[in-house]
Amino acid sequence: MNVITASDSIKYARELSVVIPTYNESENLPILLGKLKEVLNGIDYEIVVVDDDSPDQTWKIAQQLSNENERIRVIRRQDARGLSSAVVTGMASSNGKVISVMDADMQHDETILPDMYRAIAEGRCDICIGSREAPGGGYGDWSKSRRFVSYTAKALAYLALSTPIKDPMSGYFALSREYFDRTIDRVNPSGFKILLEFVTRGDNPRVEEIGYRFRNRIYGETKLNATVAVEYLLALIDLRFGWLIPNRFVKFGMVGVSGSIVNFLGFAIASGLGVSVPLAVFIGVQSAIMWTYFGNNLFTFSPIRYRGMSYLRGLVLYEFASIYGLVIQLSVVTTIITYWPTVNDYLGLKYMAYMVGVAFAALGNYFIHTNYTWNRLGYKLAMPVRS
Ligand SMILES: Nc1nc2c(ncn2[C@@H]2O[C@H](COP(=O)(O)OP(=O)(O)O)[C@@H](O)[C@H]2O)c(=O)[nH]1
Ligand SMILES: [Mg+2]
């Protein structure tokens, strides 16, 4: 007997799902949905709006629209935020054979969506990208600086991931249900650009790009801010080396490098004020400890950070834990010098020995901070886990 289960019939209920992540898009969303209704005429589609509890109540407007139109579904997330995870949530709940993603702000030209859909439905590719770099595409009136940033990001993606895609930064794309199913387990939903995740983590997808002209935003404002550049670099490092280095360690390293600058500045300023050398060293080290505690708490261990009154308790733990790194650094440097005394005769070699000590101390500190300082759940000492 041929049993059709509920999930089978739901899974392939539609030809196309359009996932639209929204945050404060109450003015744009109704206009976009009207336009989609026109261009998608003839395709059996559904729309999945994923709103992160927007203060402007985009979710409410979306719910009203969904009451009038059974093709529209709304997911209101009250416990999560973030563009990539919203997109993945929407995709996971969708039931089209082709899944597409587009912004709500009308910067993505909806008129190419049917072509993108057909490219996949007809089996020409696994991923179809709405591309500003393909024939017919363009950036609209972007400023020189914004073009430069976009060009640099693209070049970095090419260097790090050797992807031949012309517009890897696009937020406008579609993929097949089959490709989604076989890739989603490997995708990092907190990754920066979700398209890059799908392209890179999958098994050589066939990619096609369809050109469109990027439009200016008329209503609302962009949610991108300055932290995006850092997030992007982290995402590239994770995509390239994630199997080797946990992302959290990369963050820890970044904070550490900034900490050594603070350390030096603290020492230099204190010495300049005529303080004795040991005291100046102490001031340098303490400034670096306060600074890196602040940075690691906010950035590296953000989801489990110390807040409010417990911030100081964390600092005390951090100070104690840092002694561990200090001991490692001292041991490594003295060991090198003991077994290889010529190091003492060359300044360059001395610096190198010192840096080897710093590297071991960083590993040790990372280990102790992950397992002790920020291990608020009381796990037994274990190897660091991937963030
Ligand atoms: N659900 C959700 N949507 C978001 C979030 N951040 C941005 N968006 C939506 O994602 C789309 C792209 O964001 P936008 O600010 O336009 O980025 P830009 O086009 O790169 O400037 C828009 O539809 C936003 O409303 C978020 O944290 N959660
Ligand atoms: Mg936008």
pLDDT digits (tens, 9 = 90+) for 247-286: 888 899 999 999 989 988 998 999 899 888 888 888 988 9
Distance of CA 105 from the midpoint of ligand 1 (Å): 8
pLDDT tier for residue 2 given thresholds of 50, 70 and 90: very low
For residue 221, give the ligand 1 atom closest to its CA. Answer: 15
To the question of pTM greater than 0.95 for the whole model, the response is no
Ligand of minimum distance to the alpha carbon of 107: 2
Q: What are the pLDDT digits (tens) for 3-62? A: 444 455 455 689 999 999 999 999 999 999 999 999 999 999 999 999 999 999 999 999
Q: What are phi and psi of 24, to 5 degrees?
A: 55, 60
Q: Whose CA is nearest to atom 12 of ligand 1?
A: 103
For residue 20, give the ligand 1 atom closest to its CA. Answer: 23
d(CA 238, CA 246): 7
For residue 185, the one-letter residue type is D
* β-bridge mates for residue 17, sequence order: 46, 99
For residue 81, give the ligand 1 atom closest to its CA. Answer: 27
Distance of CA 103 from the midpoint of ligand 1 (Å): 7
Instruction: Tell me the Cα Rg of the chain.
Output: 26
Distance of CA 11 from the midpoint of ligand 2 (Å): 29
Distance of CA 132 from the midpoint of ligand 1 (Å): 18
Distance of CA 220 from the midpoint of ligand 1 (Å): 10
Ligand of minimum distance to the alpha carbon of 75: 1
Residues flanking ion ligand 2, Cβ below 5 Å: 103, 105, 107
For residue 300, the one-letter residue type is T
Q: Whose CA is nearest to atom 24 of ligand 1?
A: 22
Give the closest residue to 132 by CA, choosing from 153, 115, 158, 150. 150
Say if residue 302's pLDDT is above 90: no
What's the Cα-to-Cα distance from 342 to each of 229, 336, 337, 349, 355, rounded to whole Å? 44, 10, 8, 8, 17
Is 326 exposed, middle or buried, given 0-12, 13-18 or 19+ CB atoms closer than 10 A? middle
pLDDT tier for residue 347 given thresholds of 50, 70 and 90: confident
**Of 23, 26, 79, best ligand 1 pocket probe by most atoms within 8 Å of the beta carbon:** 23
Alpha helix segments (H runs only) across the chain: 6-11, 28-39, 58-68, 83-93, 113-121, 144-161, 177-183, 194-201, 227-241, 247-272, 277-295, 310-339, 347-368
- Which residues, 6+ apart, have CB-to-CB distance to 152 below 8 Å? none
d(CA 311, CA 323): 19
Say if residue 106's pLDDT is above 90: yes
* β-bridge mates for residue 19, sequence order: 48, 101
* β-bridge mates for residue 100, sequence order: 18, 174
Distance of CA 232 from the midpoint of ligand 1 (Å): 15
d(CA 192, CA 157): 12
Average per-residue pLDDT for the chain: 88
For residue 376, the one-letter residue type is R
Ligand 1: residues with CB < 6 A are: 21-23, 25, 50-52, 81-83, 86, 103-105, 107, 171, 222-224
Q: What are the pLDDT digits (tens) for 115-127? A: 999 999 999 999 9
Q: Whose CA is nearest to atom 6 of ligand 1?
A: 83
Q: What are the pLDDT digits (tens) for 159-201? A: 888 788 889 889 999 999 999 999 999 888 877 789 999 998 8
